[in-house]
Structure 1
Amino acid sequence: MVTEQEVEAIGKTLVDPKQPLQARFRALFTLRGLGGPHAIAWISRGFEDSSALLKHELAYCLGQMQDSRAIPVLVGVLCDRNQEPMVRHEAGEALGAIGNPEVLDLLKQYSTDPVVEVAETCQLAVGRLEWLQQHPGEAASSGPYLSVDPAPPAAERDVGRLRETLLDEARPLFERYRAMFALRNVGGKEAALALAEGLHCGSALFRHEVGYVLGQLQHEAAVGELAATLARTTESAMVRHECAEALGAIARPACLTALRAHATDTERVVRESCEVALDMYEHECRQDFQYADGLERLRPPP
C-alpha cells in the first residue's frame, strides 16, 4: 500500500528543479502509475516549470491516467497561449485521451487555433471523442500496447495498404493516424520501415507522432531514419525530441552514438530529450524491472 507521505515525497522530486531531469521523469511516471487525486495534484503543479519537455510529459501522463479530475488543469494549459505549442498540443491530446465528452465543444473551438500543432491535435481529439460516441462499448485501443492513443487503430492489417494510407497527405489526418497505430500493432521490420517513411511527410505534429510510435515499436530497422531526423537541425524541435526519446527506447549501440552527439544540442527540448533518452537507454540495457521506480527509491530493500 502506498501512503500519502510517499506520494508527497515522489511529488516533491517531480516539482524540484534542482533534481536531475531523469529523476523527475521517473517520479512523474511513478505518479502516473499510482493514480488518484493526490498524484494528479502533484503532476498539475509541474506546469509552472520552465522545461517544455517536462510539461509536455506532464500533460501526456494526465491523459494516460484517464481521470476526469485532471480535466480542469488540462483545459487551463490548452487555453494558456503563454505555454509552449508542444505543451498546449499535449494538453489537447490528453483531453481526448480521457474520453469525457464534456470537453468536446472546447476542443472544437481550439480546432481552429492559429498554432497549427494545437489545431491539428484538437481536431484529432474531436475525432477520437466522436468515434467513442459512435462506437459505444468498443475499445479505442487494441493490440500489445497499453497506451491511450489519439486515434483507434484501423482494422486493416495489410502493411502495404496501411503504408499507402499513412503516407497519403490527401487523406484526413484521423484516418492516417489510425493507419499509423495499426502499423505499430502489426509490428515487424516491414511495418517499422513504413512508419519511418512517415518522418518525411505531413505536418510537424504528424512526424512527431511517428517518432513516438517508432519508440513504442522498438524495432532497430528504424534507427537510421530516427538518427537522421534527430540530426537534421532544420527539422522542428518537436519532431527531433520525439526521435531522441524513440532512440532511447530502442536502445541499440547506434542509438547511443546519436544521443551522445546531441546531448549538448542548441535546442533545449532536444538536449533534455537526449538526457532522458540516455537514462532510458541504460534502463533498457540493464533490463531493470521498471522505469517508474519512484517507490523503490523511497523504500529500503528488505
Structure 2
Amino acid sequence: MFKIPPLNRLQTCISDPSQPIGARMRASYHLKQIFQLSSTPPSTQSTIIKTLTSQLGVQEHGKLMRHEFGYVLGQLKSEEAVPELCKSIDDSEDDCICRHECAEALGAICNSQISPPMMSLALKTLRTNLSTPSNPIEVRETCSIALNFISWKTTPTSQDESTAPIACACMLSSYDSEDPAPPHPSHQNMNCEEIGCILRDENVELFERYRAMFSLRNKGGARAAVELGKALVEDESSALFRHEVAFVLGQLQRVEGLDYLVKSLERGDEHEFVRHESAEAIGAIEDDWERCEEVLKRFMEDKDKCVAQSCEVALDAADYFGLAVKKEEEDEEGEGIFKFAGVKGTTISHLNIKEKCSVGI
C-alpha cells in the first residue's frame, strides 16, 4: 500500500514555489488526505490549514497553484481558513481566478455549524464583493452563488423541495467533492434533455443552472455528458458557468464530452479559466487517451501560462498513474511526493474529488 509522505516533507514542498507544479499539486492533495483521516488530531488539522493559507498570497506560486490552494481549503471546510480566504477575495489587485476560488471556498465552508463571528465575516466579504461594480464579473457571480448556497444550507427547506423524495437519484452523489450548489430534487423525474434545457437557459438564475448541472452529473451517462458539453460550447452568458461545466465533465470522465472540451480548449479568445479547466478535464478522460495526450501536448506551449501549466499537470499526473505500480515496488517506504497509485487519465485536480475511481495513495 502506498504511504502518504511525512507531513514535514509536504509542508516543505508546498512552501517552495521552485518545486515543479505537479509536485506542489500532489502535496496539496496529500495534505487534504491527512486532514480527512479520522486519526488526524485537531492540532495537525490546524497545522495543515495554516500551511495552505500561508501560501495563498505567495505570488511566486502562480495563479494556477494558488487557486488550487483555495480549492483545497474549501474542500476541507475548516472555519479557521475563513479570515485568509476573505483577505484574498478582498484583494482587488489579485487575479480573478484566485479570488473566485476563495469565494467558492467560503460557500463550501459556511453552514449552520460555523461560529457566528466567522459566518458574519464571510457573509460581509461575499456581499461587499458582490456589490462592488469594479470587481470582475467572475468574482461577483461566484459571490452570488456562494451566498445562495449558504442561504440554502442555513434556512428551512423551501416549499418546492419539501415534498421531494428523501433520496431521489439526482440528489445522490458518488463524488466526494464539496460542490458550489446542490442538485434539485425536482429534476428526479426529468430526463437529461429536459435538465439540459434548464442548464442552457441563459434567462434562468445562475444558481439554478448550477443545480441543473449537478443533477446531470449525478444522473451520469453519455447523454448527461452531451448535455453538459453543449452547454460548454454554446453558452455566451458566463465564463464562470462554462468553467464549472468543464470541471463537471472532468468528474464524469465520459469520452462523449471530449469533443466539447477540445473545442473549448482550442478557443483562443475563451476566458483562461475555462480553457484551463477544459485542459484538466481532458486529462481526466481515460478512454481515447492517445487523442487526449496529443491535445494536451499541443497546448503545453500555449501563450497563456495557466493553460500551459494545466496541460503539464494533466500529462504529469497521467504519467505517474501509469507508472504507479512499478513505482510502489521500487519505493516501499512511500517517501516520494511524486508517486501515486491510481487510474490513468485522472488529473491531480480531480484526485480525491471524483471518488468513483478508487485511487490508492
| Same fold (TM > 0.5) | yes
Aligned: 1:209 with 2:244: yes
Verify the 8 A CA contact 2:90 2:125 in the aligned structure 1.
no
Aligned ranges 1:101-116 → 2 under 5 Å:
101-102=119-120, 103-113=122-132, 114-116=135-137
Residue 192 of structure 1 and its aligned partner are, at CA, apart by 0.1
C-alpha displacement at 1:298, in angstroms? Answer: 5.0
Greater share of helix: 1
Whole-Å separation in 2 of the counterparts to 1:146 and 1:135: 24
- 1:58 corresponding residue in structure 2: 69
Question: Which residue is 1:292 aligned to?
Answer: none
Aligned residue pairs, count: 289
> Relative contact order (C-alpha < 8 Å, sep 6+): which is higher?
2
Aligned partners of 1:135 and 1:150: how far apart in 2? 19
Match of 1:165 among 190, 198, 202: 198
2:106/2:146 contact within 8 Å kept: yes
User: Residues 22-51 of structure 1: CA distance to partner in whole angstroms, max 9, x if unpaired?
Assistant: 011000111122221111111112221331
Q: Does 1:196 align with 2:233?
A: no
Q: Report the CA distance shift for 1:287/1:173 in structure 2 as closer, same or farther (over 3 A).
A: farther
**Other-structure match for 1:154:** 184
> What is the match of residue 129 of structure 1?
150
Distance, in Å, in 2 between the alignment partners of 1:89 and 1:286 is: 34
Residue identity in the other structure for 1:63: G
Does residue 263 in structure 1 map to residue 300 in structure 2?
A: yes
Contact 1:248 / 1:279 at 8 angstroms: preserved in 2? no
Percent identity (aligned): 37
Partner of 2:92: 81
**Structure 2 residues without counterparts, runs of 5 or longer:** 36-44, 158-165, 327-332, 340-361
- 283 and 135 in structure 1: CA distance in 2 versus 1, 3 angstrom threshold: farther
Q: In the aligned structure 1, how far is the partner of 2:304 from the partner of 2:246?
A: 17
Look up the equivalent residue of 2:243 and give its one-letter code.
H
Distance in 2 between the 1:53 and 1:203 partners?
20
Alignment of 1:279-290 (within 5 A): 279-283=316-320, 285=322
Q: Give 5+ residue unaligned stretches, structure 1.
A: 290-294
CA offset at residue 112 of structure 1? 2.4
User: How far apart are the structure 2 equivalents of 1:161 and 1:112?
Assistant: 33
